Amino acid sequence: MKTHTPLITLFRRDVRTRHENSPFLEERNRYLKHLAQNGSSPRRIRTIASILVTLLRFLDLETSPDVTLCAVENAQRLWMESFNSRHRRPVNEESRDEFRRIALHWLKFCDLLAPEPIPVYPYGDILPRFVEHLRDVMGMADETVKKSRLQALWFLRWANDRRESLSEISSSDVQAYLAHRESIGHKPRSIATSSQVLRSFFRYAEEKHLTHDNIASRIQGPSVPRYDPDPQGPRWADIRRLIDSRVGCKASDLRGRAILMLFAIYGLRSSEVSRLSLDDFNWFNGTFVVRRAKHGGAQRFPLQYEVGEAILEYLKRARPVGCRSRNLLVTLHPPYRPVPVGSLLGVVNLRLKGLSIRSPQGGPRGLRHACATELLRKGHSLSEIADFLGHRSTGSVSVYAKPSASSLRRVSTFDLGGLA
């Protein structure tokens, strides 16, 4: 016998019948109640309920109670094909992503999603051990570890097709891989990054006596100039235009404005913005704390008026009322959680594109470049900029600032008080 719940009253009669007659009614109702208790609006609940009913049309839950990620992606594909044939137009990207996101959230909530299979890596467990070494021994930040893991994995997959064991890999194989990346269009800086990661990987492999060719010292990456004659971020005039542009009253607009302010004015990294907590802000003193991604330290900054106003506007009008997370910036839809680092790229690029602002480097990194370049233009020393951006050395800051030659000459002529 079907269990009726107060949620049923949210639906029209025809929709209610479809909702009641679809499988997993109890599980769906329990999930919708959970969303309602966490602040979801009736309109949002109706949308999610409709997507779940559609999902169950394309999922084969009769053969196995556990749903794999592959099955979800297949259901998404079938739904898109059905939509395209009925409406004679393709599903937009936002609807496609929402279908997958809601499907996975519901399946996890109901414990219906099958655990991911244990990945099989080339050459045994060398890669997970290398990742553990980077994180626990070298103390690298999570984002750096993640990127290094990907670089090493790409190489190992390439090498696995050519060499049966890790001990058979030679320095010439590594150089052939780097040449291959160049041939398929990767830029010198990207190849240089691969070279650096592979040096670290083979130093680790040599320490564990897994290779014997002294490969690490023989890896030759491309020469990449430390200073670029052209700034890599947007012009500061465009940054001001971005900040001053009028935004709507939607939650995504208000949250986006606060995000842009933090990136442009303070030059923060994506992971640093994602980790900001409500407890990091001292509104009485007008300061906030940033927990640095690279070396784990914390820095206190004065809260610039414009930035503070944007954050308060977001907190008052856009941050979900029922959200229990202590993170400053959270997702727009339940279950509420910190804004993922990857989503911040889309937030920034969407607004840059909306104002037709172009730059060699986009996303949050481009705004960090622009911040550093503007600080240099105003006459701040590389040491001051390094401190502001959370770098340990002035050598690191040059990668982000990308100052012009004339700016560098101006900094180099500062009076050092007679010091040799």
Contact at 8 Å (CB) between 134 and 151? no
How far is residue 62's CA from residue 350's CA, in Å, rounded to a whole number?
Answer: 41
**pLDDT at 13 (0 to 100):** 66
Q: Which of 177-191, 196-210, 231-245 has the lowest mean pLDDT?
A: 231-245
Assigned superfamily of 126-218: Tyrosine recombinase, N-terminal domain (1.10.150.130)
How far is residue 81's CA from residue 91's CA, in Å, rounded to a whole number?
Answer: 9
**pLDDT at 10 (0 to 100):** 62
Which tens digits make up the pLDDT trace of 373-387? Answer: 888 888 888 888 888
> Which whole number is the average pLDDT over 106-123?
85
Q: Which of 190-194, 245-249, 253-257 has the lowest mean pLDDT?
A: 245-249
Question: Does position 46 have pLDDT exceeding 60, yes or no?
Answer: yes
Q: Quick one: what percent of the chain has pLDDT higher than 70?
A: 86
Domain 236-412 has CATH 1.10.443.10: yes
User: 388 Cβ partners below 8 Å, 6+ apart?
Assistant: 266, 267, 375, 380
Q: Which of 143-157, 174-188, 238-252 has the lowest mean pLDDT?
A: 238-252
**pLDDT at 281 (0 to 100):** 95
C-alpha torsion sign, points 31, 36, 37, 38: positive
Q: Which of 48-52, 90-94, 329-333 has the lowest mean pLDDT?
A: 90-94
Average pLDDT, the chain: 82
**pLDDT at 279 (0 to 100):** 94
CA angle 403, 407, 408 (to 5 degrees): 80
Question: Does position 168 have pLDDT exceeding 60, yes or no?
Answer: yes
Which tens digits make up the pLDDT trace of 340-375? Answer: 888 888 888 888 888 888 877 778 888 888 888 888
Helix, strand and coil in the chain, % to nearest 5: 60, 5, 35
Domain boundaries, the chain: 6-109, 126-218, 236-412
Q: Whole-model pTM? A: 0.62
Question: Does position 4 have pLDDT exceeding 60, yes or no?
Answer: no
Per-residue DSSP letter, 99:
H
Confidence of residue 326 (pLDDT cuts 50, 70, 90): very high
**pLDDT at 346 (0 to 100):** 86
Q: Which of 219-233, 266-280, 308-322 has the lowest mean pLDDT?
A: 219-233
User: 312 Cβ partners below 8 Å, 6+ apart?
Assistant: none
